[in-house]
Structure 1
Amino acid sequence: MPATGEITTVQETETPIRDAACLVVVDTSASEPTVLMGRRHASQIFLPDKWVFPGGRLEDDDRVLASRFDSDFKPADLAHEIRPFALAAIRELCEETGLIIGRDGALIDQSAAWRAFAASGHAPAPGALLPFARAVTPPGRIRRYDTWFFVAKADAVSGKGAPPDGELLDLGWFTFSQAAELDLPHITKLVLEDIVALLKADPSISGLNDLLPFYHSAGTAYRRDLISCKVAPPLP
């Protein structure tokens, strides 16, 4: 998962920046909202034993599939360069949790990356996702990612697919106060705070701010700027 933490450092020139997406699923049906999180394996090179949101790397198949969706995104004018990230977030949610955010109907794309999702009998529904943050892993990390974070309400989940792939352990729903006590990467803490602020301003998660937080390198720490998701800003 794309984020920062106490991990082995390498030379910046040896660490390419890869595209990735994360999906924060929030259940607002109870008096206190909860968020879906899981713990990464201790044996994983990147962020071992850390608690994270479902997500992962963008695949070429996500870009191909995104080119076939003309209007099923939120906002409708979401930048074309960002649309594949929304689909990747849905695919990763399916792979890591077994949860489907989609609509009934066959998925035309039968690529390797989307085969498990297609087997559920659904097509992805990216209109259920709202982009709300972007982050680029600082230099010097063993992995670096340019990640778009999306949020979706739990009632957008339309079914279950194949069993989770086991990449995330101890999957569960946590209140935000409980989640804050977990062993989180620094960027996950920041994004969690952004979600809390979003819920305070828009409890129904029905709208979108014109400008979203963008975390990127400022020395060894994160800098927070505001960007639009209606254009694709270049890497800093």
Structure 2
Amino acid sequence: MTAMAAGRGDDATIDVPIRDATCLLVADISGSEPKLLMGKRHADQVFLPNKWVFPGGRVEEEDRQFADRFAEPFSPNDLARAIKPFALAGIRELYEETGLLIGSANALPDPGPVWQTFAASGQAPAPKHLIPLARAITPPGRVRRYDTWFFLANANALSAPPAATDGELLDIGWFTLPKAGKLDLPNITRLVLDDVASVFRATRDFGDTVEPLPFYYSDGSTFRRDLISCKVAPPTP
């Protein structure tokens, strides 16, 4: 799912690698209004400085290797193999950035360097609690480009008290959808916020996969929103 694409710089066309990434929307639905977990990026970050985002980050090669040997269930049970590393990376990034953990009481055998921090919690990731929500590829012309899968999880799946964070996100907090919509959001975050609002309008019980899923990308002339399945090999635009 990683590709090379032409991105337009200020003066010339440059090759910008499309890196795989993941975002995890954690929703607290215990109150009268759903609330989502979000944080603010640092002002000195190259990509999306000062923007409010969902926890997430890059998918590492170690995430792919881990997914190949990970025997616990995903959601759905027939989740496409290519998407499984994104789900695992989402849980890892959530823990590193917010200290919140979606896991089970099982030690991780032989964790590599990328998973050492998570492994110290004494738990293993529990991707069965993650529901695929959307996919997006950053349009050309950006300083960084990502092929990102977004997942949704119920806050009742959090399995441990908050731990220390890596400090990558500031002002981490829970926001109702109207309040989240008033934050300084990246365009794609706003689109996914609309998608999750549609889910909540349809049901407050999102234990099942929401299919088909929106896929946002540029076809070279327009920005598109197609519908795809997470149960088959992801399409390449």
Please tell me the residue identity of whatever aligns with 1:58.
Answer: V
Aligned to 2:203: 202
Unaligned regions of 5+ residues in structure 2, if any?
1-7
**How far is 1:71 from its partner?**
4.9
Please tell me the residue identity of whatever aligns with 1:210.
Answer: E
SS class of match (2:82): coil
1:26–1:152 CA contact under 8 A, matched in 2: yes
- CA distance 1:45–1:123, change in 2 (3 Å): same
CA RMSD of aligned residues (A): 1.6
Q: Residues 72-221 of structure 1 correspond to what in structure 2 (within 5 A)?
A: 72-160=73-161, 162-219=163-220
Please tell me the residue identity of whatever aligns with 2:76.
Answer: P
SS class of match (2:94): helix
Please tell me the residue identity of whatever aligns with 2:208.
Answer: G
**How far is 1:39 from its partner?**
0.2
Q: Residues 29-108 of structure 1 correspond to what in structure 2 (within 5 A)?
A: 29-108=30-109
Deviation string 1:63-121 (CA, Å, 9 cap, x unpaired) is 11111224510000000000000000000000000011000121114211100100001
The farther-off stretch of 103-112 and 150-159 is 103-112
SS class of match (1:49): coil
SS class of match (2:78): coil
**How far is 1:62 from its partner?**
0.6
Unaligned regions of 5+ residues in structure 1, if any?
1-7
1:119–1:161 CA contact under 8 A, matched in 2: no
**Paired-residue identity, %:** 59
The farther-off stretch of 22-31 and 199-208 is 199-208
In structure 2, C-alpha distance between the alignment counterparts of 1:75 and 1:152, rounded to whole Å: 13
In structure 1, C-alpha distance between the alignment counterparts of 2:61 and 2:13, rounded to whole Å: 24
Calculate the TM-score normalised by the size of structure 1: 0.93
Please tell me the residue identity of whatever aligns with 2:22.
Answer: A
Please tell me the residue identity of whatever aligns with 1:154.
Answer: A
The ranges of structure 1 where at least 4 consecutive aligned residues each deviate by more than 6 angstroms after the TM superposition are none
In structure 2, C-alpha distance between the alignment counterparts of 1:73 and 1:12, rounded to whole Å: 40
**How far is 1:204 from its partner?**
1.2
**How far is 1:9 from its partner?**
4.3
In structure 2, C-alpha distance between the alignment counterparts of 1:126 and 1:78, rounded to whole Å: 11
2:131–2:210 CA contact under 8 A, matched in 1: no
Aligned to 1:5: none
**How far is 1:45 from its partner?**
0.2
In structure 2, C-alpha distance between the alignment counterparts of 1:12 and 1:130, rounded to whole Å: 37
Calculate the TM-score normalised by the size of structure 2: 0.92
In structure 2, C-alpha distance between the alignment counterparts of 1:147 and 1:167, rounded to whole Å: 18
SS class of match (1:200): helix
In structure 2, C-alpha distance between the alignment counterparts of 1:48 and 1:93, rounded to whole Å: 19
**How far is 1:32 from its partner?**
0.7
Please tell me the residue identity of whatever aligns with 1:168.
Answer: L
Deviation string 1:8-61 (CA, Å, 9 cap, x unpaired) is 946554210000000000000001110000000000000000000000000111
Aligned residues: 229
1:139–1:220 CA contact under 8 A, matched in 2: no
2:132–2:210 CA contact under 8 A, matched in 1: no
- CA distance 1:174–1:221, change in 2 (3 Å): farther
